[in-house]
A and B are shown apart, each in its own frame.
Chain A
Amino acid sequence: MLIEMYGVTKIYPGGQVALKDINLKISKGEFVFIVGPSGAGKSTLIKLIFREEVPTRGQIFFAGKNISRLKRREVPYLRRRIGIVFQDFRLLPEKTVYENVAFAMEVVEASYKDIKRKVPQTLERVGLLHKANARPSELSGGEQQRVALARALVNNPDILVADEPTGNLDPDTSWDIMNYLDDINKRGTTIIVATHARELVDSMKKRVIQLEKGSLVRDEERGVYGK
């Protein structure tokens, strides 16, 4: 089991209840969509996984280790096992595509040799090797998100979490990104995607977890977006 949540509740300072008593297990190799209306708690759930937020109550396990009360200095090592993708790409504008991806390896103190080997290989995987020397501003939205995907993947994470990765993209480009995610998943990386993209979820036939006002209301294998 890669991720386990037991009775997880998140109440933000100020009293907003974002998640209520969530119980949930995600195995290695799964592809999971998290759906639900705005404010349902999708982003909060994802933030709990990579320890951006800590649960108010309940326990979260990552690969068997309880991360709900992780020490501050242990957090980076958890995050190295998780690739994170955001709606707004979060690329560094002054760095080239290559440098943006290499940056992720520099930060975890990879060797020069590994960086030179892994970066082109990962760019190839998202079909962007030919744009290695371009800057993010010279790329389309979809291409930028693929760079972000490469950056999230380059350190071989156990899991890739994406919060509305297609939120800023048109439908065709969204399809493209989802296909890459599917491909990445087929090669063994666990994937969790929070999304509003109804058609994509419906046609991909993956596990769907639905949240409503902080509660888990549906958890279906090969599910659809819902009503």
Chain B
Amino acid sequence: MKLRTIKYFFRESFTSLIRNRWMSLASIGAVASALIILGSFLLLSVNFDYILKDVESQVEITAYLEDSVDEADITKLNNGIAAIEGVKEIKFISKEEAIEEFKEQVGREILEGIENPLPNSFRIKVNDPHEVAAIAEKIQRFAGIDEVKYGKGIVEKLFNIIHWVRIIGMVIMAVFAAVSIFIISNTIRLTVFARRREINIMKYIGATDWFVRWPFLIEGMVLGLIGSSLAIGILAVAYNYLYIAVKINIPMIALLPIEQFYDYALGFLGIGMLIGAFGSSFSIKRFLNV
């Protein structure tokens, strides 16, 4: 394709963007709103993921020991559990340490004079939270292990929630992408309609189908691009506020750092452009018959 032709395509698309400026603005606004909603869900699900990863990594297994287990067996058990595939960290907590910890939490005075009822235990961290249940079962099989706890149910529930958040997010994204495509396709349809004379003449003169198509495709992509840039800008400002507000008010929740937000921005521009291209090719196909 000649440079001159490319220039022609851009000139045509920008002329028509400006000529139909109200429609262009309306569709940029519509695309931006759609993408802002889409982006909010994206951020929500990404953050949900991020927070859950954080929670997941804190899921640990506690294995309580029978009172009969002696010093030497404890060392053997320690080595045995540490050797299980997927175990990241194991820490021995003696009866005494456990009661000290408990006293910290509850208050010393209440427990004065009572014999220590707590058993010795191991605290185990695993590499992949998905394997918690399987590893817990393996630990249970060791002789001398009385009981294994790992927040059973909570882990499964968390995974379930992540799963659904992803599916719902995906569905909503698809819906809004479709809405954006529809809006852009309508705008381009108006442009095509406004320029039907010109298109008609072009075809009589001997323009190829692609020569006719390109300016509309570019127009759609530019609309999508401007719309998504706008959405990114607004989301970035809003997210920045949210990030700071959460950090100050709810410090235990760690939102995705703002810098990582920009990694998504590029993908967003891409989505915007794709939506624009889809929208216009839709109109071109249906209303141009080229």
Interface stretch of the complex, out of B20-28, B55-63, B95-103, B207-215 = B207-215
Instruction: Give CA–CA (A79, B207) in the complex, Å.
Output: 9
Are B4 and A108 within 8 A (Cβ)? no
Instruction: Give CA–CA (A78, B202) in the complex, Å.
Output: 13
Measured CB to CB, the closest approach of chain A to B280, in angstroms, equals 19
Instruction: Give CA–CA (A72, B210) in the complex, Å.
Output: 12
Are A80 and B206 within 8 A (Cβ)? yes
Q: Is B198 an interface residue (CB 8 A)?
A: yes
Are B4 and A76 within 8 A (Cβ)? no
Name the A residues within 8 Å of B8 (CB-CB): 106
Contact residues of B between 243 and 267, Cβ < 8 Å to A? none
In terms of DSSP, what is the predominant structure of the interface of chain B? helix
Name the A residues within 8 Å of B206 (CB-CB): 76-80, 82, 107-108, 155
Q: Is B201 an interface residue (CB 8 A)?
A: yes
Instruction: Give CA–CA (A92, B195) in the complex, Å.
Output: 10
Contact partner of B211 among A79, A90, A107, A151, CB < 8 A? A107
Check A109/B5 contact, CB under 8 A, given A84-B204, A90-B201, A92-B198. yes
Q: Is B76 an interface residue (CB 8 A)?
A: no
Name the A residues within 8 Å of B208 (CB-CB): 73, 76
Instruction: Give CA–CA (A79, B205) in the complex, Å.
Output: 6
**Closest residue of chain B to A90, judged by CB?**
B201
Name the A residues within 8 Å of B204 (CB-CB): 50, 79, 84, 90
Q: Is A111 an interface residue (CB 8 A)?
A: yes
Instruction: Give CA–CA (A151, B201) in the complex, Å.
Output: 11
Check A111/B207 contact, CB under 8 A, given A90-B201, A92-B197. no
Measured CB to CB, the closest approach of chain B to A118, in angstroms, equals 14
**How many residue pairs bridge A and B at CB < 8 Å?**
50
Q: Is B160 an interface residue (CB 8 A)?
A: no
Q: How many residues of A contact B (CB 8 A)?
A: 22
Measured CB to CB, the closest approach of chain B to A162, in angstroms, equals 12
**Closest residue of chain B to A91, judged by CB?**
B201
Q: Is B200 an interface residue (CB 8 A)?
A: yes
Most central of A90, A106, A155 by chain B CB within 10 Å: A106
Q: Is A104 an interface residue (CB 8 A)?
A: yes
A contacts, CB < 8 Å to B: 50, 72-73, 76-80, 82, 84, 90, 92, 103-104, 106-109, 111-112, 151, 155
Pull 25 A–B residue pairs with CB atoms less than 8 Å apart, ordered by A.
A73-B208, A76-B203, A76-B206, A76-B209, A76-B211, A77-B206, A79-B205, A79-B206, A80-B205, A82-B206, A84-B204, A90-B200, A90-B201, A90-B204, A92-B197, A92-B201, A104-B205, A107-B202, A107-B205, A107-B211, A108-B206, A109-B4, A109-B5, A109-B211, A155-B206
